[in-house]
Amino acid sequence: MRAIAAYALATVLLAGGSARAAEGDCDTDADRPLSRPFAVSFGLEGGLAYFSENTPFGTDTNIGLGLAPGYNVGLRASFEFLPWLALDARGLVMRNDGNTFVDEGSLTTTGGLGAARFTLPLRHIRPYALVGFGGYHMSASSDAARQTQLVNDSVSAFEVGLGAVVPTGYGIEVGVEWLYSHLNDENLSTNPNADGGDPSTLSVYAQYRLPL
């Protein structure tokens, strides 16, 4: 009788262990919590660039009247201290063409920024906000037919942004990000009605994330 009871107990324990092992095998990387808090990521981005004044959406005032929406391309890197906290860096190039309000021409903006990023670490999509500081150089160029009113300038900037990133597996992440750069003491044109403004970008990006 004792032998039968011992055999039955061993069978139950073995079955329970097998079920737990099968459950573990069904888990995916997305289902497991992040076990390593530190990570680095590197990526590329590109999208829309436009200038506004006073607010991120004031394209009908100041330099927003003189520059058409253009494009941006850039590099990005991040260091994650915690799943919700990271230090980001960006390098950007933006190009915007002038119109008759500033006698045509174009403005090429190059620069970079550093920012603290705060992420809501959800499983499938991770929204975030960032704040930081940057610097930019605006380079004006004229058409052959006429001299533009756009001018060169180099300034610092305060940065704010919103975005969301989606893990796709194998360390690859894709996302979308809106960034507003408030330029400090800028002078972008000899036209007093179009001498100030701030760039914004709306970008899509892909990056590789490496846990450390």
Q: How far is 141 from 107, CA to CA, in rounded Å?
A: 7
Four-residue CA torsion sign, 38, 39, 40, 46: negative
**Helix-strand-coil split of the chain, %, nearest 5:** 15, 55, 30
Are 85 and 66 in a shared domain? yes
Are 118 and 174 in a shared domain? yes
| Domain assignment of residue 199, given as a range | 37-211
Query: What pTM did the predictor assign?
Result: 0.81
Q: How far is 194 from 110, CA to CA, in rounded Å?
A: 20
List pLDDT tens digits, range 16-27.
444 444 444 444
Q: How far is 31 from 27, CA to CA, in rounded Å?
A: 6
Across the range 146-156, mean pLDDT stands at 95
**107 neighbors 139 (Cβ within 8 angstroms):** yes
The whole-number pLDDT of residue 174 equals 98
| Tokens describing residue 156 | 């610092």
Q: Which residues pair with 209 in a beta bridge?
A: 41
Are 107 and 183 in a shared domain? yes
Across the range 92-113, mean pLDDT stands at 96
Does 32 score more than 50 pLDDT?
no
